[in-house]
Amino acid sequence: MKAGMVLGSVVAARVAEGLEGKRFLLALPVDEKDRPVGGEFVACDVVGAGRGARVIWIGGKEAALALGRDEVPVDATCVAILERHGRNKEGA
């Protein structure tokens, strides 16, 4: 599992079977200090993350397991929203 920053959402009405109604996020992989560590990618979302959220995402075959069934064609899924401890302490 890795950290990511949500850049926005991807709207797709025509999808492969099994992906109907699923949410897709455009995200950037980041390190623990929110520094980008790779290029943009798209992940399925099961926690309702929005733009600007720091998230935990999982890649590979486990991404499909996060959707509750393993025959879904996804290779990345956002599975948690990270808390912003640092910013809360600063009152921001």
Partner 1 sequence: MELARVLGPAPSNLKHPALAGLKLVFAETEERGRGGVVVAWDLADAGRGDRVLIMREGGAAMRLLGRGAAPVRTVLIAHVDRVDG
Confirm if 31 and 37 have CB atoms less than 8 A apart: yes
Contacting residue, 41, 47, 56, 81, with partner 1 by CB under 8 A = 41
β-strand pairing of 54-59 with 76-81: antiparallel
Nearer to partner 1, 8 or 82 (CB): 8
Residue 91 backbone phi and psi in degrees, to 5: 80, 5
Stretch that binds partner 1, among 29-37, 61-69, 83-91 (CB under 8 A): 61-69
Nearest distance from C-beta of residue 24 to partner 1, angstroms = 7
| Assigned token pair, 44 | 């399925």
Choice from 14, 33, 87, 89 touching partner 1 (CB under 8 A): 14
